[in-house]
């Protein structure tokens, strides 16, 4: 069974903290993605990666960075957490072939206080 696993379901962090969200997939997928989901705004792409050490900005990269040192792991980093980064964060992966489906993790609900 295919699996995308996010390291935490719930996180509470303080303003100004550096926050790491981890995502691991076991499907040997080339592509990995980080989205955030907010009521009324839907899912918005933060960053994606199509290979180890490669990354591309999505629609809302400001305040975030990413790291992909191994094919199976994609990390999202909030350099200095702010209250407007309180959100549901979703990781996804897919094969590089454009006719294949994407698989999502269970989500991380991050609250910044």
Partner 1 sequence: KQEVTQIPAALSVPEGENLVLNCSFTDSAIYNLQWFRQDPGKGLTSLLLIQSSQREQTSGRLNASLDKSSGRSTLYIAASQPGDSATYLCAVRGNEKLTFGTGTRLTIIP
Q: Which residues bind partner 1 (CB under 8 A)?
A: 4, 6, 31, 33, 35, 40-43, 45, 48, 50, 56, 58, 88, 90, 92, 96, 98-107, 109
Question: Across the chain, how many H-helices and E-strands are there?
Answer: 0, 11
Question: Least separation, in Å, of the C-beta of 85 and partner 1?
Answer: 18
Nearer of residues 3 and 18 to partner 1, judged by Cβ: 3
Q: C-alpha dihedral over 19, 104, 30, 69, to 10 degrees? A: 20
Question: Least separation, in Å, of the C-beta of 56 and partner 1?
Answer: 7
CA angle 113, 65, 41 (to 5 degrees): 60
Question: Least separation, in Å, of the C-beta of 76 and partner 1?
Answer: 15
């Amino acid at each position: 069974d295919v699996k995308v696993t996010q390291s935490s379901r719930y996180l509470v962090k303080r303003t100004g903290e550096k926050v790491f969200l981890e995502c691991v997939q076991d499907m040997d997928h080339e592509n990995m993605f980080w989205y955030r989901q907010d009521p009324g705004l839907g899912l918005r792409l933060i960053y994606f990666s199509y290979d180890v050490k490669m990354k591309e900005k999505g629609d809302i990269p400001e305040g975030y960075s990413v790291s992909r040192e191994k094919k199976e792991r994609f990390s999202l980093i909030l350099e200095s957490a702010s209250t407007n980064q309180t959100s549901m964060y979703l990781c996804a992966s897919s094969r590089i072939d454009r006719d294949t489906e994407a698989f999502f993790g269970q989500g991380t609900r991050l609250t910044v206080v």
